[in-house]
Structure 1
Amino acid sequence: MAAERSRRGLDWLNFFVADVQTGFGPFVAVYLTTQAWTEVQIGFALSLGTLTAMISQVPAGALVDAVRDKRRTAMLALLAIAMAAILLAALPSTLPVLLSEVLHGFASCVLTPSIAAISLALVGRARLGERLGRNTRFAALGGAIAAGVMGLVGTYLSPAAVFWLTAALTVPSLICLSSIRPDDLSRQVAAARAEQQAKGRGLVDLLKDRGILVFAACCALFTLSNAAMLPLAGTAVTRQSGDEASLIIAASIVVPQLVVVAISPSVGWLAEARGRRLVLLAGFSMLPLRGALLALVDAPIGLVFVQALDGISAATLNVMLPLIAADLTRGTNRFNLCMGLFGLAVGIGGTISTSLAGAVASWISPGVAFAMLGVIGLLNVLLVWLAMPETREELPEGAVSPA
């Protein structure tokens, strides 16, 4: 019963953490615009936050690995995010805003691996895929609801109210975190430490692992293909639809989130039952298909239906990234460091994607840009097929796959 309470606490922790993180999305640009910031100033602030998040991925992962109490690192990260939100809401001048972006960027890099480590400690490696599927489901649901609520709050109260609400939502997040009992984590943690002592694999050996290098390349190619698709499609929709563009873009964001909510647990179960490569191939194959369809579809409503494919690929990456990191660091204390490496690869791909696609769309045409993004997605599928090893641990003879 106590363990069930901890699992429920982790469910709702993911839900409220997604709420908190949603406040630092596009709402920052809207808010700073109302404070008479120029586009250059806003761009610099947002870029500083992005750069901080990218360079913090690896050190933040190493930090979480080094700290035994992952609940404490998650708590401190949530408090730091609350402080970042309060700085934005109360002091929208240059130095506090820049400090807020840096604080949020680093804290987010600590919070994500902390929750993944808590998940691993709560259920163990054998059921981690299913647990990550539940994490992704609750996070997607929280993010979708928060986007709507914060949009209403920002419109009918004030843009600053979004960040006061963000800070307030850290309170239920902390309550959910406190409901995860340390005793429910200790058994798996003790087993993991015994395994680490038995195998003793070092960091240098870990960084030479072929699977880590291949999957890091997959992560970079994924966001290189994926990140620019919706912004590029949104530009075309805005030109065609005028006042209805915001509604169509909103639907294009919400629909994939609903798909993630629906399929994430199944993605985790399938990865445990049938292996990681099968799930990666199925999920990543949506990228070239989506790129091809976006190059061909002109009707704005068609964008919404095509975007449903984004939910499949997003659910795949969200579940598989921490799951494969756990596989590839089995027997070591480098799980969160590995997640940081993968997160860095994701960030690099996403940063290049929008600039590259925008340049191709301007110099040649949007259709060619979509085709290019689809080809990159196809290269990602081929990389998984030809080079990615199966990382699921082979079950002993006579054992039953997790159900």
Structure 2
Amino acid sequence: MSARSEVKERRPKAGHGAEQAERGSRIRERLFGLHTRSRRVISEHRDRRKLRDREVSDRSRRGLDWTNFFLADVQLSFGSFLAFYLADLGWSKQNVGLALTVGGLAAVAAQIPGGAVADAVRWKRALAASGFVLIAAAALILALWPDFSLVFVAEILHGSSAGLVGPAIAAISLGIAGRHAMSSRIGRNYRFAGAGNAVTAAFMGALGAYVSNHAIFIATAILCIPALAALTEIRANEIDYVRARNAAKRDHTFDLQRLVDLTKNWRLVLFAGALVLFHLCNASLLPLVGENLAHSKVANSALFMGGLIVVPQVVVAILAPWIGYWSELWGRKPLLLAGFAIETVRALLFALISDPLLMMAVQLLDGVTGAAITVLTILVITDLTTGTGRFNLAQGVLGTMRGIAAAIGTASIGTIVQHFGDFTGFLLMATGPALGAALIWAFLRETKPAKYID
């Protein structure tokens, strides 16, 4: 065969080249369409943010930012640090779980009344302030009088604050931003909360390592002072009372007779069920890791405990605004599914590792999950209660269900671990998020509205 004929055989056919060109053209068209859609959504997101900023003064916006920052600061010492603190005092895993359960039950009892009050009253800032006072009192009791019975009193005080601060901050956010800019505002809230958690976890870990574990709770009480100062920077006249309840326009009434309507909202009930499955297992995951770390012989375990909390909070601070943005671009459901699935993987990985450095690497996943679930929970509740005037009550109902699940999970996992070992406990904690993801995937339709009513 001649060299010329070989060249001819190697040369591609004209039809094949045209097919490749057509395929390339289709790919370019799709990429251009995606690019155009992304630019449009980004522009709409920026417009909503600009509208939010025009309606609210810099003073109120920054006051809400820093209130979220310091709220994260004062909340952080309860939970994982408390489990570490009590274990270091010689408490058994079962008693640590019992103490955390009491705090969880107190939080449960406060959720629905707190949400109803947040819907009914105009003085949202006073609600949040009373919660900060309860947190400071609980922290001082734990620092100065950590007796068995007083620890339970402190946990009750702290749990009660959850029914005041959380609904109040959410109501203030919705009252200031409105539905159209809520995704941007909530993302900003959790950016500052995540930053506060990261800074405080590092600070608390250093206090525990180089000063004492008691100093962690004294610092918590002191940090309530700048939290209250930031709260006073929010101007009360910029909080729209009707909007803060997610009510219809010109609806200034609060009808206690129709509260049962929440139970008829099957999408809200379905979402609540998925959250119950998630928190049934999630609430005790990091406390169990903290207890194991406290009982181990690892040097500077307090610093490692701080690292386990800092790492995810840095991720939350970075991701939270993007979760709000992506929820407008893709909808709420895909991000919820991703958050639930990642939490399942996290629990399984903790069942397999014990090295503190690897634990901190796994905690990156907690940051992704934390950003997704916290931001999207508020947004989904906003979507599903639009026009009802019961936004904060719905938060209270879902908070009650989550709190019951967390309390049951914390107590039961502590008992299971004590009898069957850590590996079994972690495997059980992986099942809840997996079942929740299946429930959302199969039954929950997208909640993001096609058009916001304000």
TM range (shorter): 0.7 to 0.9
* Cα distance, 1:246–1:167 mapped onto 2, change above 3 Å: closer
The percentage of counterpart residues that share the same residue type is 39
Deviation at 1:251, TM superposition (A): 2.8
Q: Distance in 2 between matches of 1:20 and 1:277?
A: 31
Single out whichever of 349-358 and 73-82 deviates more from structure 2.
349-358
Q: Deviations over 1:87-118 (max 9, x none)?
A: 44455556655443322211222101100110
Q: Distance in 2 between matches of 1:32 and 1:293?
A: 26
Deviation at 1:321, TM superposition (A): 1.5
Q: Distance in 2 between matches of 1:3 and 1:389?
A: 36
Aligned with 1:170 (options 224, 234, 242): 224
* Cα distance, 1:348–1:177 mapped onto 2, change above 3 Å: same
Structure number with bigger Rg: 2
* Cα distance, 1:278–1:183 mapped onto 2, change above 3 Å: same
- After the TM superposition, which residues 65-84 of structure 1 pair with which residues of structure 2 at under 5 Å, given as runs? 65-84=119-138
1:216 to 2:275 alignment: no
Partners of 1:13 and 1:173 within 8 A in 2: yes
Structure 1 match to 2:313:
257
Aligned with 1:225 (options 254, 276, 281): 281
Aligned with 1:280 (options 321, 326, 336): 336
- After the TM superposition, which residues 298-309 of structure 1 pair with which residues of structure 2 at under 5 Å, given as runs? 300-309=356-365
Q: Distance in 2 between matches of 1:298 and 1:44?
A: 25
TM-score (norm 1): 0.85
* Cα distance, 1:3–1:163 mapped onto 2, change above 3 Å: same
* Cα distance, 1:392–1:48 mapped onto 2, change above 3 Å: same
Structure 2 match to 1:395:
451
Q: Distance in 2 between matches of 1:181 and 1:17?
A: 18
Deviation at 1:214, TM superposition (A): 0.8
Deviation at 1:319, TM superposition (A): 0.7
Structure 2 match to 1:5:
59
User: 1:127 is aligned with what amino acid?
Assistant: A
Residue-pair matches, total: 398
Q: Deviations over 1:261-305 (max 9, x none)?
A: 110110111112321112211222212322343445565533322
TM-score (norm 2): 0.76
* Cα distance, 1:244–1:177 mapped onto 2, change above 3 Å: closer
Structure 1 match to 2:203:
149
Q: CA RMSD in A?
A: 3.5
Q: Distance in 2 between matches of 1:167 and 1:238?
A: 24
* Cα distance, 1:273–1:199 mapped onto 2, change above 3 Å: farther
1:58 to 2:102 alignment: no
Partners of 2:172 and 2:244 within 8 A in 1: no
* Cα distance, 1:105–1:238 mapped onto 2, change above 3 Å: closer
Deviation at 1:189, TM superposition (A): 3.5
Structure 1 match to 2:399:
343
Q: Deviations over 1:224-249 (max 9, x none)?
A: 23234445556777788733655544
Q: Deviations over 1:169-193 (max 9, x none)?
A: 2221112111111232238639955
SS at match of 1:168: helix
Structure 1 match to 2:23:
none
Structure 1 match to 2:369:
313
Deviation at 1:156, TM superposition (A): 4.4
Q: Distance in 1 between matches of 2:418 and 2:447?
A: 41
Q: Which runs of 5+ in 1 are unaligned?
A: none
Aligned with 1:136 (options 179, 184, 190): 190
Aligned with 2:155 (options 96, 101, 124): 101
